[in-house]
Amino acid sequence: MRLKNRTALITGGAAGIGKAAAERFLQEGARVEICDINPKAGDAAVQELGSDITFHQVDVTDRQSVQRWVDDVLAAHGKIDILINNAGILRDSLLVKLRAGDLIHQMTEADFDLVMAVNLKGVFNCTQAVAPHMIRQRSGVILNATSIVGMDGNLGQTNYVAAKAGVIGMTKVWARELGRFNIRVNAVAPGFTATEILSAMPEKLIQGMTARTPLGRLGEPRDIANAYLFLASDEACFITGAVLRVDGGLVVGT
């Protein structure tokens, strides 16, 4: 029961890694408050995971929506001990694609802006909303979902890589700014993980991902959830500003 009596907020908590983290945190005694943009998935997660979890429909790109969520949690529990900024989306595309010298396709501005809004600004919005309370209580843990591609780059992911690299930078800034208030800020960088998004990809692509992973398999959401659990627990009480790769030894190729 490493998280007994602690209140944890998890964005994007209705599916995938976020849902797995919610399940692990519940097993370790936390009171879990998840948010997601998808109310159907959120309600299903609550029904599956039990009575110590609450779902809120929140758009992390909307600062007022985020603030209402935080205010509701504080009204219900009086404290926020852990924030996991897990929500994220993909809109993959090559920067530009030419055929016979002619431009035939490029990443759209709308797809760039949307990924940056959810994956980068959403992390900023949620952290800024909870930080004042954590400062007042002089304790807290903030965990940010980045990615190995935010460190290594990847083809067709200009927007996603830029956002995840930005998350790493913000993690290091916040670790410095908030450390004196006993608030730890770390990031987790998953490798290829068997989530709903990955299941929609062609089997040949998934086989290629597995082949590039020295441990010979894709990550499971629980693998990432266990990393979140360690960093949220007192076992990691002297770790801040770190980026933990959970990738099976993967090196992203070109």
The answer to whether residue 228 is catalytic is no
Give DSSP secondary structure letters for 105-147: EE--HHHHHHHHIIIIIHHHHHHHHHHHHHHHHT-EEEEEE--
Q: Radius of gyration (Cα) for the chain, nearest Å? A: 18
Given the residues 160, 174, 192, 228, select the one marked as catalytic.
160
**Catalytic (active-site) positions:** 160
